[in-house]
Amino acid sequence: MQKILVARSIFPDVIDRLKQYFDVDANQGDVLPADELKRRLADKDGALTAGEMIGADVLAAAPRLRVVSNMAVGYNNFDMAAFNAANVLGTNTPDVLNESTADFGWALMMAAARRIAESEHWLRAGQWQKWSYDGFLGSDLYGSTLGVVGMGRIGQALARRAKGFNMRVIYHNRSRVAPQIEAELNAEYVSKQDLLRRADHVVLVLPYTKENHHTIGAAELALMKPSATLTNIARGGIVDDAALAQALREKRIAAAGLDVFEGEPNLNPALLDVPNVVLTPHIASATEATRRAMANLAADNLIAALGEGPRAGQPPNPINPDVLGKARS
């Protein structure tokens, strides 16, 4: 029987499902340290991960490993050059979290724009003594301009929500989306600089790559309106968190909502010292239905990639399909 490692705690029924096909080493405790991850992968044919860093050193220490199934859309935790060199398949879990993530991005954007977290902290601290006309004045979403950076499936889901708020939608993407999608979303393609200058609310929904590192830094923040908000539901590292904290402190932009951070779960302590930012611990996809769908899709990928189940040899979501069927090198 083939052996797999489930590197991160997941739903017990998904582990039971995997046990129908594999000898399962399931970590249901804390995140595995890097050396423990290597040790437990040494004799494994496959692995199910949720953000663990898998690079050339890890692959070299696991000569039997043929597939790593990531329970996430993003896979910047995979060194794909190393995967390709070793003929190891990587898989991910796209689509099943689009709507939940878009819902959360919208909530985070609204919370930042209307100063919900800031006012709640003030209320809980016992500072509310009277109503005032200028108390916690925020900014409207209705009738404003939404700027989406990264018009993939989640970006498009956000743009669809903008229709109900009568918002103008502008977007920037690595490549322009199809004309019919632009027409459906009533979205205008613009340069990143134009988007930052024009948008009242900027939302980041692009994958993390080396090229996208600090897509939003001090220079980009300087282009934004003082009344604008920035929401990041993409990946940590896309925003220069130190530059953002300074811009928020100096009120060079109005507010921000962040679900992802550089170096998470650690975060820049400067972000904790500014009141005009909403901080959440990477939970944009955190509904039970969505997380279950992600876990089961990750299991589907792993089962199929290791030649088991009804889709044997045809995993639903290969990242590097060219290695399918090739011997491990």
- The number of beta carbons lying within 10 Å of the beta carbon of residue 285 is 24
Mean pLDDT computed over 136-159: 98
Catalytic residue among 115, 161, 201, 235: 235
**Residue 130 reports pLDDT greater than 90:** yes
Evaluate if residue 123 carries a pLDDT over 90.
Answer: yes
Helix (H) or strand (E) holding 279: strand 277-279
Assign residue 84 the CATH number of its domain.
3.40.50.720
- Distance between first and last Cα of the chain: 21
One domain, residues 54 and 23: yes
Instruction: List the structure tokens of 322.
Output: 């060219």
> Between β-strands 277-279 and 46-49, what pairing exists: parallel, antiparallel or unpaired?
unpaired
Expressed as residue numbers, the domain containing 77 is 3-94+288-323
At what angle are helices 98-113 and 116-124 packed, to 10 degrees? 60
185 plus 317 within the same structural domain: no
- Domain shared by 226 and 166, yes or no: yes
Known active-site residue 153: no
- Strand duo 255-258 + 277-279: pairing: parallel
* Alpha carbon distance 249, 129 (integer Å): 25
- Cis ω on the peptide bond leading into residue 265 (within 30° of 0)? yes
Active site residue 264: yes
- CB-based contacts of 131, cutoff 8 Å, min separation 6: none
Which of these is catalytic: 99, 188, 264, 308?
A: 264
- Give the whole-angstrom CA distance, residue 42 versus residue 39: 5
Rounded to whole angstroms, the Cα distance separating 65 from 329 reads: 10
How much is the pLDDT for 59?
97
Do 38 and 138 reside in the same domain of the chain? no
DSSP 8-class letter at 327 = P
Proportion of the chain above pLDDT 70, given as a percent: 100
What is residue 160's predicted lDDT score, i.e. its pLDDT? 98
Q: In this structure, are residues 168 and 146 in contact, taking their beta carbons and an 8 Å threshold?
A: yes
Question: Total domain count for the chain?
Answer: 2
**Above 90 in pLDDT, residue 329?**
no
pLDDT given for residue 229 in this prediction: 98
212 vs 234: CA distance, rounded Å = 11
Q: Is residue 144 part of a domain?
A: yes
Q: Kindly indicate the confidence band of residue 278, based on its pLDDT and cuts at 50, 70 and 90.
A: very high
Which pLDDT value is given to residue 172? 98
- The encoded tokens of residue 300 equal 């589907």
Give the DSSP letter of residue 322.
Answer: G
Kindly report, residue by residue over 290-322, the tens digit of the pLDDT: 999 999 999 999 999 999 999 999 999 999 999
3-state secondary structure of 314: coil
Tell me the whole-structure pTM to 2 decimals: 0.94
Q: How many angstroms separate the CA atoms of 49 and 9, rounded?
A: 9
Q: Is 118 a catalytic residue?
A: no
Residue 163 identity: K
Catalytic residue among 197, 214, 249, 282: 282
My answer on whether 213 and 136 are in the same domain is: yes
Q: Looking at the domain assignment, is residue 173 inside a domain?
A: yes
Rounded distance between C-alpha atoms, residue 313 and residue 308, angstroms: 7
Boundary (domain end) residue, out of 279, 298, 314? 279
Query: Two tokens at 157?
Result: 């889901």
Q: Is residue 263 part of a domain?
A: yes
Same domain membership, residue 214 and residue 158: yes
Both tokens of 232, joined, read 């990041």
With a pLDDT cut of 90, the percent of the chain lying above it is 98
Contacts with 19 (C-beta within 8 Å, 6 or more apart), sequence order: none
Beta carbons of 203 and 216 less than 8 angstroms apart: no
* Domain assignment of residue 229, yes or no: yes
Distance between CA atoms of residues 118 and 249, nearest Å: 13
Residue 224 in domain: yes
How large is the average pLDDT for residues 226-251? 98
Question: What mean pLDDT, rounded, does the chain reach?
Answer: 97
Whether residue 146 is found in the same domain as residue 242 = yes
Give the 3-state secondary structure of residue 170.
Answer: strand
Token output for 47: 């692995």
Q: What is the DSSP letter of 93?
A: -
User: For residue 298, is it within any domain?
Assistant: yes
Residue 84's pLDDT is 97
